[in-house]
Amino acid sequence: MSATTATPETPPEPAVARRRPPWPRVADTVVLAVFVVAAFAIYRPLWLNLSEGYLLHSGQDQNMWEWFFAVTADAVLHFENPFVSTLQNHPLGVNLAANTAMFGIGVPLTPVTVLFGPTVTWALVLTGGLAGTAAAWYWVLSRHLVDTRAGAAVGAAFCGFAPPNISHANAHPNFVALFVPPFIVLCLLKIVRGAPPARAGVVLGLLVSYQIALGKEALLIMATTLLVFAVTYALMRPAHAVALARPLGTGLGVGALVSLVLVAVPLWWQFFGPQSYPGIEHGLRGNDAAAFTAFATESLAGTDESAVGLSMNRTEENAFFGWPLVLLMLAVTAGLWRVVVARALAVTMLVMAWLSMGVLLVVDGTATAIPGPWMLLFDVPLFDSVLESRFALGCVPVIGVLLAMATERVPRLPVRREWRHAAVLVWCGALALALVPIAPTELRVSERAPAPDFFADGTWRKHVHDGSVVMVPPPDPGDADPLHWQVRAGLGFPLAEGYFVGPNDDGDGIYGAVRRPTSALLETVAEDGEVPEIGADERADARVDLRYWRADVLVLPLGTPQEDELRTTVTTLLDHPPRLVDDVWLWPTR
């Protein structure tokens, strides 16, 4: 008698007969291990040199992010408000809620930052972000979207390690740690499949709140992608869309209410708190159409020149899927066209790519007269602060899901067995041709210049009391090394100006502080290498600025570019020479 017809008098067959075979768990472990190893391999140079390693193409962002993590940990440790800090831009301070401080990771990793330093936190967030994003998509794909682990692994690997992700992996952990969006998609999927919408909405609200604490811009891109998919699907299946409207509306409404309660304070602080701003203008930064078929710098087929002219910089290579993958996705779109979900995904992929191209289509550097949908969004609140080229990131999970669906279906083609075997071989070859050229390479690391002994050894304590340190010239988005020196000094003193996002004189957002006359003068000297004419007006401005900054000292490290010219300029401004203390020139102001 089988287990299904067993009675109490005749016990069923042993439970082992119904137990799932162990190999799926082994397969899951292997896939997740591969993701972790791949992420560590990409950041191997950084992990091998945590004391002095600096990601080569991060610009000044590594300094800024390490400062964010250090300041967040310091606020948690001392039970202070984490949304504001006067350690930069003294005395006005910085609105950290209006910057990409990633409280959702910075707060829980406070013990790591305190014990091992913010560079370890930085490396851990980036490495864990890549592996965690791929692992999250693998879980959702393998359990809820496709039936084969091979398909889930292919799709998840692309979602975690796609060229745009690796480009941002140089400097932007908020676009690397994308492990929450897959579960937001899963919540919506469960509502569509009949789960109680209110209960799913509560979970949805919690996930959205956490994603807001990780990165609002990524959430906006994701929401836009989901909206495009929803509209596309509704146009294809209007009756089904109408039937889903009520449960989805309930779930979204509950989720919005839960999220609003949880994030009301940080959102208020971001938009209405001290040093807040309504948005920041980046100009028109759409993707060149040629960027989609080109290869990224940090890919096997890429070179140091392959993305030059098609992107803003190494951290904003937001397309660069390579021509083999573009051709493969066209073939997948044609092959899965009869599958409504796949068709809606394909349309979504094309719309997000078009949206990322900006207000006018540009092809290989040549502008056309063809307008893009960004024409309708570039001045809409929230959208006006996002680089439109980043909306190509919305294509990444869509491509991943389509690759998973195709990998699942090829072995099940309704043809003779030998033809299926041939189709599988062809598909594996096509995947290799499309994905191997865009596989990521390890990210290069340079040697970080050591902090001046004046800061690293604590000598500053003898000269800085309750005022700020004015670096010569003050730090800005082009040179934020003093933020690292401040962290090395235990965050014991505030800095004048710095690298952050805050309001300008008109209230709109800008990168860095509003320049004072003296800092603008010193910046000009640093750029031109010429000592300017110093008169009574410049000396008066310097006195006013030093009082405004509440400065204790001005500091010029030895070896600073244009050191002689800067030293002469400050000496003339203050009308007294500096002292050489350790490895810096020092001008006390009191």
- Residue 378 has a pLDDT of 85
Residues 398-424, mean pLDDT to the nearest whole number: 93
The percentage of residues in the chain with a pLDDT greater than 70, rounded to a whole number, is 96
Phi, psi torsion values for 242, nearest 5 degrees? -65, -40
Euclidean distance between CA atoms 266 and 262, whole angstroms: 9
One domain, residues 390 and 337? yes
Q: Encode pLDDT of 538-570 as tens digits.
A: 999 999 999 999 999 999 999 999 999 999 999
In the numeric block, which tokens belong to residue 438?
A: 């865009």
One domain, residues 323 and 232? yes
Euclidean distance between CA atoms 47 and 582, whole angstroms: 31
One domain, residues 368 and 471? no
User: Under a CB-based contact definition with an 8 Å cutoff, are residues 160 and 134 in contact?
Assistant: yes
Q: Averaging pLDDT over each range in 118-127, 273-282, 378-387, 414-423, which range is the top one? A: 118-127
- Residue 22 has a pLDDT of 55
One domain, residues 520 and 391? no
One domain, residues 380 and 466? no
Range with the lowest mean pLDDT among 14-23, 126-135, 405-414, 574-583? 14-23
Q: Encode pLDDT of 476-504 as tens digits.
A: 999 999 999 999 999 999 999 999 999 99
Please indicate, yes or no, if residue 83 is contained in any of the structural domains: no
One domain, residues 251 and 218? yes
User: Under a CB-based contact definition with an 8 Å cutoff, are residues 363 and 416 in contact?
Assistant: no
Predicted confidence (pLDDT) at residue 21 exceeds the cutoff of 80:
no
Residue of 401, 285, 390 lying closest to 343 (CA atoms): 401
One domain, residues 136 and 216? yes
How does strand 584-588 pair with strand 579-581?
antiparallel
Please indicate, yes or no, if residue 234 is contained in any of the structural domains: yes
One domain, residues 376 and 228? yes
Euclidean distance between CA atoms 506 and 87, whole angstroms: 23
Total of domains in the chain: 2
Please indicate, yes or no, if residue 54 is contained in any of the structural domains: no
Predicted confidence (pLDDT) at residue 414 exceeds the cutoff of 60:
yes
Euclidean distance between CA atoms 337 and 238, whole angstroms: 18
Please indicate, yes or no, if residue 112 is contained in any of the structural domains: no
- Roughly what angle, to the nearest 10 degrees, separates helices 395-409 and 323-335? 60
3-state secondary structure 434-456: HHCCCCECCCCEEECCCCCHHHH
One domain, residues 292 and 264? yes
- Residue 550 has a pLDDT of 97
Residues 378-386, mean pLDDT to the nearest whole number: 89
Phi, psi torsion values for 170, nearest 5 degrees? -70, -30
| Strand blocks (E) in 336-375 | 360-363, 366-371
One domain, residues 172 and 257? yes
One domain, residues 376 and 261? yes
Which residue range(s) make up the domain with 282?
Answer: 33-42+117-435
Residue ending a domain, among 393, 408, 435, is 435
- Residue 362 has a pLDDT of 94
One domain, residues 458 and 431? no
Predicted confidence (pLDDT) at residue 78 exceeds the cutoff of 70:
yes
Write 71-75 long-range contacts (CB < 8 A, 24+). 71/96, 71/101, 71/491, 72/96, 72/101, 72/103, 72/106, 72/107, 72/110, 72/113, 73/106, 73/109, 73/110, 73/113, 73/114, 73/118, 73/121, 74/491
Predicted confidence (pLDDT) at residue 170 exceeds the cutoff of 90:
yes
- Residue 23 has a pLDDT of 59
In DSSP terms, 501 is beta-bridged to 511
Euclidean distance between CA atoms 556 and 473, whole angstroms: 8
Predicted confidence (pLDDT) at residue 6 exceeds the cutoff of 90:
no
Please indicate, yes or no, if residue 90 is contained in any of the structural domains: no
Residue of 496, 492, 491, 494 lying closest to 461 (CA atoms): 492
Instruction: Give the DSSP letter of residue 17.
Output: G
Residues 354-376, mean pLDDT to the nearest whole number: 93
Please indicate, yes or no, if residue 270 is contained in any of the structural domains: yes
Q: Encode pLDDT of 97-153 as tens digits.
A: 999 999 999 999 999 999 999 999 999 999 999 999 999 999 999 999 999 999 999
- Residue 379 has a pLDDT of 87
**Average confidence score pLDDT of the chain:** 94
Residues 191-216, mean pLDDT to the nearest whole number: 97
User: Under a CB-based contact definition with an 8 Å cutoff, are residues 382 and 278 in contact?
Assistant: no
Please indicate, yes or no, if residue 93 is contained in any of the structural domains: no
DSSP string, 164-179: HHHHHTTT-GGGT---
Residues 198-219, mean pLDDT to the nearest whole number: 97
User: Under a CB-based contact definition with an 8 Å cutoff, are residues 282 and 508 in contact?
Assistant: no
Per DSSP, the three-state class of 362 is strand
User: Under a CB-based contact definition with an 8 Å cutoff, are residues 88 and 500 in contact?
Assistant: yes
Angle (CA) 243 249 251, round 5° = 110
In DSSP terms, 321 is beta-bridged to 295
Predicted confidence (pLDDT) at residue 512 exceeds the cutoff of 70:
yes
Residues 226-249, mean pLDDT to the nearest whole number: 97
Q: Encode pLDDT of 249-308 as tens digits.
A: 999 999 999 999 999 999 999 999 999 999 898 878 899 999 999 999 999 999 999 999
